[in-house]
């Protein structure tokens, strides 16, 4: 079942997260998106320690669509070097995985 991944990234505002979610789902780069937040993050950035509030996006897609999804996120993300990470979906209900595959298949 490693044909599917969950991809995460984060934005500074809810509106930015919603816009990214809409654009990737409309483009069938992800079957669905969940926006969680605000969340508190602790991190190193440019050699300095920081904390802040972010809005996390969780995106579900096929492994084969990951490169396109990452390219889209990098192009449209408000941050210059956003965190983008993918983890395999190692198990899932058959109906959910069928839905995921059907909604990340290009329509052209």
Task: Name the token pair of 47.
Answer: 């050699």
Whether pLDDT at 1 is above 70: no
* pLDDT-derived band at 106, boundaries 50, 70, 90: confident
pTM value is 0.92
User: Could you give the CA distance from residue 100 to residue 89 in angstroms, rounded to a whole number?
Assistant: 11
User: Could you give the CA distance from residue 1 to residue 15 in angstroms, rounded to a whole number?
Assistant: 33
* pLDDT-derived band at 107, boundaries 50, 70, 90: confident
Whether pLDDT at 35 is above 60: yes
* pLDDT-derived band at 2, boundaries 50, 70, 90: low
- Check: CB of residue 88 under 8 Å from CB of residue 7: no
CB atoms within 10 A of CB 79: 13
């Amino acid at each position: 079942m490693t044909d599917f991944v969950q991809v995460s990234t984060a934005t500074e505002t809810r509106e930015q997260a919603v816009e990214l979610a809409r654009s990737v789902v409309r483009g069938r780069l992800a079957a669905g998106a969940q926006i969680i937040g605000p969340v508190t993050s602790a991190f190193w950035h440019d050699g300095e320690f920081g904390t802040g509030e972010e809005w996390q996006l969780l995106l579900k897609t096929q492994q084969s669509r990951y490169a396109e999804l990452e390219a889209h996120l990098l192009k449209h993300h408000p941050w210059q070097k956003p965190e983008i990470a993918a983890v395999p979906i190692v198990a899932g209900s058959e109906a959910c995985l069928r839905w995921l595959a059907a909604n990340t298949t290009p329509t052209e």
